[in-house]
A and B are shown apart, each in its own frame.
Chain A
């Protein structure tokens, strides 16, 4: 075992016992990045100097906080004061925020060690990092395959041992899908649990900042650090935040688990579905009650999601117009050309497509037939879940229809690519918490199981995830990379 293979709670123990200093740990991670980054391509910006400085500060003046001294990475759509934040877009290639995202401030406050900013699909729009303006991140389990997306850099960096954990954002599965593809735990919290302040908006009513870690306990530790009310975010929930890590027992006796038949039918790769069925069986053996249910409106979730997410994205992208910040066509000699040329040069194809589609569905002729109808569907999906949760504690589905796909596999076949999100999107539409946990390997590639919980019941969700994790050892597996045997 190398230092970079350990979990946060293992590392914290070593640090507390003074068996390793934050400086040594940071050095080990930086060396690991040097070794494997060329293959993985997870980082957009490395912050080596800052990391060593933070490590030194911690070693000189150690504090007792759960994430103190632990190296981590942030998805590059999470603003960091004084550190370039690109959103993986040419538009913001040189953008240096003067403010920290709330979650970035939380981790800074924990005295964590920031190793850098991680790759994503441009502005979070994609599911493979292939729309990043800078690079495509490889899956550490098979470099020919994608790490998933949009938080592909965040997932690959954790899987490759380049960071101990990372934060991502999840609009329709952008944390859970790459976590599943990379054999990791990925949590999208309840909408409103974690502040969105400083996370560059993709689709504001669906976006949520979340966590990618090696195991469930780590996930609980990081969630405890970033969850909570933030007065800077008008959609932030005013609720009491429990300690998610404390009393995680893994005891799930009597837990009522529902599995919706529609989600298994939609799994095009029966192998993943089969793996999740096995997991359900394991749950039963641990004393849970497992029953099949129906979520009848889930087949409309995807089209409704396209309309709502594109609509919101189209106006969120409008501020990137070349006037204030970001890329500007300096040769334009009037304002309309300045807008058109700056946006044409600054945005990639997928972002442009979404702006077009979003602008269309919001136009006065289409507003009712598309946008309003999609909002009604959203309501129905929400009601479907509410109904199930009257009788069940959690819902279990596969996270993705398949394991990680190859680069360029979907070139020219966008609609099939979009179907990747079909199992994760309804969770965002309903604002619920969802977690993906590793549930086995198919042909050497990790498969993920999704657990969906009631609003703000992350604790129950984590406990259920932990029960499964402890009964198996999938989470212990590490991909072979670089100098590894």
Chain B
């Protein structure tokens, strides 16, 4: 990147709260139902119907606010955001514009061993819109179908300050935010399913300049990678434009995942006047100190607290701690494992290494895998007991991961037991030595490689199952007798 420019990024994150029912009616929020089966006259905006606020959504907002160090407003209000779109049945979205529920929070990130505090401007409650299903693309479609299952689900929009200075910082912010939301138990945060959605406001400015450059909003960011790549692309595009003497315009752009570019969607001139005003159908939300205290008491460990614990109590490096606390499921796996096998670093290595590799390859979350912590512990104990070698253990682990079977079962099935029986090994060594008199000569003449040759032959004969320490000992004994 060009040294003369500074990147400025702020993120707007929409999180679907995992309330059982929608924010203003009692429709179910289950994911993946048939289109328009989770709809009532209320969330379909039928005449005469009225919104009634789901208290659980407020509770989750308070929880999130506390986890993000926000002020929780004693009084907050709902406003109508007016615009026409077929997925918005009332032609207004109920949101919080003037008086949001959470304000002035912050979240700490760490990139390349530098810690940084990112400000959170506000977090407010709103209802989600429905979904349009086009036949083909939006421009070529003959007709579009409306699915209102998602319409009216509870969303929390979390808006950051423009405090991030690189794509990596933005990614770190989003990863940390996701971890906090998962730990607080307020959302599933599945980017693919849309329960965590992110828009990035990106601008550049000459280093040293205090006022912000012309801002571009990037939409359609469905993964951490997309967030990072799109910001990098957008920064390059903006710098090139400035260098070429072009004037940047304030606009909304969309990320094209296939071509890895951002494309113009609409400019500020097209921006609508949403005519926000307080929704007269909903009374103000009053949140007492008692309610806040209650919610606060119900909160369990947050990622930063867990990180501290892993460093202080388990003696893990900061890096390990930060990876293990990215999701509550990972941490739970780790905690379960170390209660039965008190070797935190070894457990951590297996989780960060083999387990994460397999999860990545299979594009899975730990909670979707069939592996349980107890089985990893069994495997580690088998290694310690010399029943299998560390190398074989990796093969066994992969099998455990894909089948959910117990390690002993796999070892038995595949005949992977380590051979430590000295008589068996002695017999095999005798055979190999007898069959290779030339190499024995080499060994006697002091060629180091010759020893390795015999070890290799033995491992081959035992398909890697021979206990290496015993093999070494027996070979040395045998060869010294030649």
Are A97 and B277 within 8 A (Cβ)? no
Name the interface residues of A64-91: CB closer than 8 Å to any CB of B: 77-79, 85, 87
| A321 and B84 contacting across the interface, CB-CB below 8 Å | yes
Residues of A within 8 A of B107 (CB): none
Q: How large is the interface on A (under 10, 10 to 19, 20 to 34, 35 or more residues)?
A: 35 or more
Stretch of A196-204, A409-417, A455-463 lying at the B interface: A196-204
* Nearest A-chain residue to B44, judged by Cβ: A324
5 inter-chain pairs at a CB distance below 8 angstroms, sorted by A residue, are: A97-B46, A99-B41, A196-B50, A204-B280, A234-B50
Q: Which of A78, A199, A315 contacts B82 (CB 8 A)?
A: A315
**Once the chains bind, are B275 and A362 in contact (CB under 8 Å)?**
yes
Main secondary structure of the interface of B (DSSP, over half): loop
Judge if A47 is at the interface, Cβ distance under 8 Å. no
User: Is A37 interfacial (CB-CB < 8 Å)?
Assistant: no
Closest to B90 in A: A319
Contact between B84 and A364 (Cβ–Cβ < 8 Å)? no
| Complex contacts, A92 vs chain B, CB 8 Å | 47
- A232 proximal to B (CB < 8 A): yes
- Which residues of A are found within 8 Å of B41, using beta-carbon distances? 97-99
Residue of B nearest to A79 (CB): B48
The residues of B that contact A204 with a CB separation of less than 8 Å are 279-281
CB-CB contacts below 8 Å: B65-122 with A? 80, 82, 84, 86, 89-92
Mark interface residues in B146-160 (1 if CB within 8 Å of A CB, else 0): 100000000000000
* A235 near B281: Cβ-Cβ < 8 Å: yes
Q: Are the C-beta atoms of A319 and B52 separated by less than 8 Å?
A: no
Q: Are B280 and A367 in contact (CB under 8 A)?
A: no
Chain B, residue nearest A99 (CB): B41
> Ordered nearest first, which 7 A-B pairs have the shortest CB separation?
A318-B91, A205-B280, A362-B275, A204-B280, A198-B48, A200-B47, A79-B48
In the bound complex, do residue B47 and residue A312 qualify as a contact, i.e. CB atoms below 8 Å apart? no
Q: Does A363 contact B (CB under 8 A)?
A: yes
Let me know if B47 and A319 touch, CB within 8 A.
yes
Mark contacts of B268-286 with chain A using CB atoms, 8 A cut-off: 1 yes-contact digit, 0 otherwise.
0000010111011111000
- Between B45, B53, B80, B280, the greatest number of chain A beta carbons within 10 A of the residue's beta carbon is seen for B280
Docked pose: A345 CA to B52 CA in angstroms: 32
Which residue from A197, A205, A314, A339 sits with its C-beta under 8 Å from B49?
A197
Contacts of B283 in A (CB 8 A): 234-235
A339 touches B50 (CB 8 A): no
Residues of A within 8 A of B206 (CB): none
Which residue in chain A gives the minimum CB-CB distance to B279?
Answer: A204
Interface membership of A233, Cβ < 8 A: yes
Known contacts A98-B41, A364-B273; is-contact A312 B280 (Cβ 8 Å): yes
Partner of B53, one of A200, A234, A311, A319: A234
Known: A314-B275, A318-B91, A324-B89. 7 other contacts (CB 8 A): A79-B47, A201-B281, A235-B50, A311-B277, A312-B280, A315-B91, A362-B275
Q: Which residue of A lies closest to B47 (CB)?
A: A200
Would B80 and A315 count as touching, CB distance under 8 A?
Answer: yes
Hey, what's the 0/1 contact readout for A293-318 against B, CB within 8 Å counting as 1?
00000000000000000011011001
A324-B45, A339-B84 are contacts. A315–B92 as well, Cβ < 8 Å? yes
* Contact status A315-B47, CB under 8 Å: no
Inter-chain contacts of B45 with A (CB < 8 A): 319, 324
Q: Does B213 contact A (CB under 8 A)?
A: no
When the two chains form their complex, are residues B91 and A321 in contact, meaning their CB atoms are under 8 A apart?
yes
Q: Which of A95, A196, A339, A364 contacts B275 (CB 8 A)?
A: A364
Would you call B51 an interface residue if the criterion is a C-beta within 8 Å of the partner chain's C-beta atoms? yes
Please give, as numbers and ranges, the residues of chain B lying within 8 Å of A363 by CB-CB distance.
273, 275
Give the residue name and chain of the A residue nearest to B40 (CB). A99
Residue from B47, B276, B279 within 8 A of A95 (CB atoms): B47
Cβ–Cβ contact B281 & A234, under 8 A: yes
Contact partner of A371 (CB less than 8 A), chosen from B92, B277, B281, is B277
Known: A234-B283, A321-B84. A367 touches B277 (CB 8 A): yes
Find chain B residues with CB under 8 A from A234 CB.
50-53, 281-283
Q: Are A233 and B52 in contact (CB under 8 A)?
A: yes
Q: Given A98-B41, A234-B283, A318-B90, does the pair A323, B146 have CB atoms closer than 8 Å? A: yes
Is A190 an interface residue when CB atoms closer than 8 A count as contact? no
Q: Give the residues in chain A near B86, CB-CB below 8 Å.
A: 323, 335
B48: A residues at CB distance < 8 A: 77-79, 85, 97, 99, 101, 197-201
**Residues of chain B lying within 8 A (CB to CB) of residue A205:** 280
CA–CA, A319 and B82, complex, Å: 10
Residues of A within 8 A of B53 (CB): 234
Q: Mark A415-457, 1 if CB is under 8 A from B, else 0.
A: 0000000000000000000000000000000000000000000
- B89 pairs with A323, CB closer than 8 A: yes
In the bound complex, CA of A204 to CA of B94 (Å): 14
Q: Which residues of A contact B50 (CB under 8 A)?
A: 196-197, 232-235
Rounded to whole Å, the gap between the CB of A168 and the closest CB of chain B is: 15
Q: How far is the CB of A44 from chain B (nearest CB, A)?
A: 15
Shortest beta-carbon distance from A436 to chain B in Å: 25
**Contact, CB under 8 Å: A87 / B47:** yes
Please report the C-alpha to C-alpha distance between residue A232 and residue B80 in the assembled complex, in whole angstroms.
19
Contact of A318 with B47 in the complex, beta carbons under 8 Å: no
CA distance A189 to B279 in the complex (A): 21
Contacts of A200 in B (CB 8 A): 47-48
Q: Give per-residue flags for A186-214: 1 if the beta carbon is below 8 A from chain B beta carbons, else 0.
A: 00000000001111110111000000000
Q: Given the known A-B contacts A97-B46, A318-B82, A323-B89, are A362 and B277 also in contact in the complex, defined by CB atoms under 8 Å?
A: yes
A343 — nearest CB in chain B belongs to which residue? B84
CA distance A482 to B364 in the complex (A): 79
List residues 385-442 of chain B with CB under 8 A from any CB of chain A: none
What residue of chain B has the Cβ atom nearest to residue A339's Cβ? B84
Instruction: Note all chain B residues with C-beta closer than 8 A to A201.
Output: 47-48, 281
Q: Which residues on A sit within 8 Å (CB–CB) of B82? A: 315, 318, 362
A359 touches which of B89, B90, B275 (Cβ 8 Å): B275
A residues in contact with B89, CB < 8 Å: 319, 323-324
Q: Report A318-355 residues with CB < 8 Å from chain B CB.
A: 318-321, 323-325, 335, 339
Q: In the complex, what's the smallest C-beta–C-beta distance from B271 to chain A, in angstroms? A: 10
Query: Measured between alpha carbons, how far is A204 from B90 in the docked complex, in Å?
Result: 14
Residue A249 is within 8 A (CB to CB) of chain B in the complex: no
Q: Which residues of A contact B90 (CB under 8 A)?
A: 318-319
Q: Is A31 an interface residue, CB under 8 A from the partner?
A: no
Q: How far is the CB of A128 from chain B (nearest CB, A)?
A: 23
A53 close to B (CB within 8 Å): no
Chain A CB count within 10 A is highest, among B47, B52, B84, B91, for B47
The interface bits of chain A over 394-421 (1 if a CB of B lies within 8 angstroms of the residue's CB, else 0) are 0000000000000000000000000000
